[in-house]
A = this chain, B = another copy of it.
Amino acid sequence: MPLRIIITAGDAMNIGEAAQLSGVSAKMIRYYETIGLISKATRSYSGYRDYQERDIHILRFIRRARAAGFSTLQIKKLLALWQDRQRPAREVKQFASEHLSELKEKIAELEAIATALSQLIAHCHGDDRPDCPILDTLAGESTGGKFDECGKRHPPIRRHSAPKPKI
């Protein structure tokens, strides 16, 4: 992966440098532009996107907000709150609190699953014999078992990670 380190004196920079400085991939910067999360970048004569320090700040904000688990839609609102210097902190606190509640709910769901699974695993002798309470429970005839109760939401397993903040 050859990676030329870009150093520029002034403010203006291409998308690659913006990506390096902000920790948001160029791909994602373009994506954020298409979904309207950031405003359309001005273009150089040849069509290259042009970024300033100010854009880098915004992109970093977005990266951190993503790392905090906010969706792009939520970030749109956060950006609006951020840019409005008159907004009362109350609004921000409330918004963040709602997100925190969702997070906690998700955690509780996962923990319910983990607990149930732990118990099954604990009850499995795990030797060469074929009888196994784990499979028996999943196959179970009875209703109202552990896994008829918990784990109602299951986001797809993702291959791609969110951008790993290296800056």
Size range of the chain A interface in the assembly: 35 or more
Given contacts A68-B116, A93-B124, A100-B117, contact A82 B135 (CB under 8 A): yes
Contacts of A36 in B (CB 8 A): none
Within 8 A of B (CB), among A98-114: 99-100, 103-104, 106-107, 110-111, 113-114
Q: Which residue of B lies closest to A58 (CB)?
A: B139
Task: Judge if A37 is at the interface, Cβ distance under 8 Å.
Answer: no
**Which label, helix, strand, loop or mixed, suits the secondary structure of the A interface?**
helix
Whole-angstrom distance between the alpha carbons of A17 and B107 in the complex? 34
Task: Judge if A151 is at the interface, Cβ distance under 8 Å.
Answer: yes
Task: Judge if A52 is at the interface, Cβ distance under 8 Å.
Answer: no
Task: Judge if A8 is at the interface, Cβ distance under 8 Å.
Answer: no
